[in-house]
């Protein structure tokens, strides 16, 4: 195939509604079975298997066998980035006529969710803005670069250089990812991955399928780190006009 045909082929793979639904179900980095993805797309397992085979063949998904099950995940961070870009354009084209007051599930996803292996939603955008304000990352258009101020900025939340300054390890890269719900950028690359892992390990975030719950301990720590004004914007519930915790998160202890 020529390059243009290859591009059209990838676009067609991602553009079929059932395949789109399955790809979006995997955008948070999970690995799911064909049955789980069939339910997400509201199709039969047999139909899902055919779609999944095409997505694997086209390089959008990777599959691996574990025991009796075959699990599927996005093939690379670039696939997640492509999906985020498509969603951002789709939301923009929806226009004000189609905007509705979203339900609690949508509000939770807008507040904090995973985008492949990093944090998205208002929380992800706020982290990017705070690190930029601290001079920890330098943003230039669509590019991002880690600066010498990154280590002290992250040390304030307990993420020390031991986590990313590994001899012989990969460099601490950082890139910008367009957030489809906020229409602003959050941080991806290795820096974004390390921050997400750290906040999960601390128990400040809890993974709930495609959303991230912010625990009271996480709210206290992150609010103190990024400041009251920026934190209030993260916790604001657009559908109710007031901050709120998820019921599951309020059960967590510090």
CATH code for position 20: 1.10.10.10
Whether the pLDDT of residue 180 is over 90: the answer is no
Together in a domain, 53 and 10: yes
DSSP single-letter state for residue 165:
-
Q: How confident is the model at residue 31 (pLDDT cuts 50, 70, 90)?
A: confident
Cα-only R_g, the chain? 19
3-class state of residue 133 by DSSP: helix
Residue 129: the pLDDT is: 92
Contact 223, 130 (CB under 8 A): no
Together in a domain, 153 and 209: yes
Together in a domain, 71 and 189: no
Number of domains present in the structure of the chain:
2
Q: How confident is the model at residue 70 (pLDDT cuts 50, 70, 90)?
A: confident
Look at residues 75, 101, 128 and tell me which one is the last residue of a structural domain: 75
Look at residues 41, 60, 75 and tell me which one is the last residue of a structural domain: 75
Together in a domain, 128 and 211: yes
Together in a domain, 133 and 177: yes
Whether the pLDDT of residue 218 is over 50: the answer is yes
Burial class (CB in 10 A: 0-12, 13-18, 19+), 93: exposed
Look at residues 32, 60, 75 and tell me which one is the last residue of a structural domain: 75
3-class state of residue 164 by DSSP: coil
Domain that holds residue 48: 3-75
Together in a domain, 169 and 193: yes
Together in a domain, 29 and 151: no
Together in a domain, 51 and 66: yes
Together in a domain, 124 and 37: no
Q: How confident is the model at residue 169 (pLDDT cuts 50, 70, 90)?
A: low
Together in a domain, 110 and 64: no
Together in a domain, 167 and 98: yes
């Amino acid at each position: 195939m020529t390059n243009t045909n290859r591009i059209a082929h990838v676009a067609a793979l991602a553009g079929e509604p059932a395949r789109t639904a399955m790809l979006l179900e995997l955008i948070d980095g999970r690995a799911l079975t064909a049955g789980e993805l069939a339910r997400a797309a509201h199709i039969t397992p047999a139909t899902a298997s055919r779609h999944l085979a095409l997505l694997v063949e086209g390089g959008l998904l990777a599959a691996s066998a574990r025991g009796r099950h075959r699990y599927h995940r996005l093939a690379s961070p670039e696939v997640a980035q492509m999906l985020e870009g498509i969603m951002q354009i789709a939301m923009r084209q929806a226009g004000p006529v189609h905007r509705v007051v979203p339900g609690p599930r949508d509000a939770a996803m807008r507040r904090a969710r995973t985008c492949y292996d990093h944090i998205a939603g208002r929380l992800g955008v706020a982290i990017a803005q705070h690190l930029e304000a601290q001079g920890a990352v330098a943003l230039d258009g669509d590019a991002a670069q880690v600066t010498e101020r990154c280590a002290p900025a992250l040390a304030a939340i307990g993420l020390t250089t031991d986590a990313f300054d590994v001899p012989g390890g990969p460099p601490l890269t950082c890139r910008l990812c367009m957030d489809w719900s906020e229409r602003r950028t959050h941080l991806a690359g290795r820096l974004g991955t390390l921050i997400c892992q750290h906040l999960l390990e601390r128990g400040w975030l809890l993974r709930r399928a495609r959303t991230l719950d912010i625990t009271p301990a996480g709210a206290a720590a992150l609010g103190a780190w990024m400041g009251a004004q920026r934190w209030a914007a993260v916790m604001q519930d657009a559908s109710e006009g007031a901050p709120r915790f998820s019921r599951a998160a309020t059960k967590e202890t510090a």
